[in-house]
Amino acid sequence: MTLGYFLDLLIINEVRREKVVEDDATKFSLGYELSKQNGFLLKEIATCVSEVYNGTRPGVFSKNKKYDREVKKDEDYNLVSLFYKLYQKHLKLWELEDTRRDKTIPDSDRLAAADQVSIFNKQRNDLVERIDFVVNESINKAKVS
């Protein structure tokens, strides 16, 4: 697993914390569980960064994806911007999944939402890979100093 993957899970937890509206007891229980998970993820993030820096873990994994070679890649090097974009993708995915599952709306709208889920998941995966690339580049530059 890469740093981007761990950050992706952390962001999913935060979106879940925002979106799940339940009674106070459920919110407390969910908040406690998400905080525990986030603590674990933060520990893994620290370990991951250390291992990438020490060269005992790869910072990126080559994907060899033939289907998207012509797709314009995000060239953003700002990690905060990339994290925010990833957060926005998760918010949109949550909304699309809610639409997809809503049996009160027309099937055509639900199918359109399902199609959009695939597109946004691809964009989310690309952002995770971009985060891995930027972090790996930054770590490699820090080693040279």
For residues 133 and 111, what is the distance between their CA atoms, to the nearest angstrom? 34
Looking at residue 145, its pLDDT comes to 57
For residues 30 and 50, what is the distance between their CA atoms, to the nearest angstrom? 30
* Confidence bin at 29 (pLDDT 50/70/90): confident
Q: What tens digit of pLDDT does each residue of 53-87 get?
A: 999 998 988 766 655 555 556 688 899 999 999 99
Is residue 27's pLDDT more than 80?
A: no
Looking at residue 76, its pLDDT comes to 84
The residues spanned by each domain of the chain are 3-144
Looking at residue 75, its pLDDT comes to 81
Instruction: Report pTM.
Output: 0.83
Q: What tens digit of pLDDT does each residue of 89-122 get?
A: 999 999 999 999 999 999 999 999 999 999 999 9
Are the C-beta atoms of residues 127 and 85 closer than 8 Å to each other? yes
Looking at residue 64, its pLDDT comes to 61
Counting DSSP H helices and E strands in the chain, the numbers are 4, 0
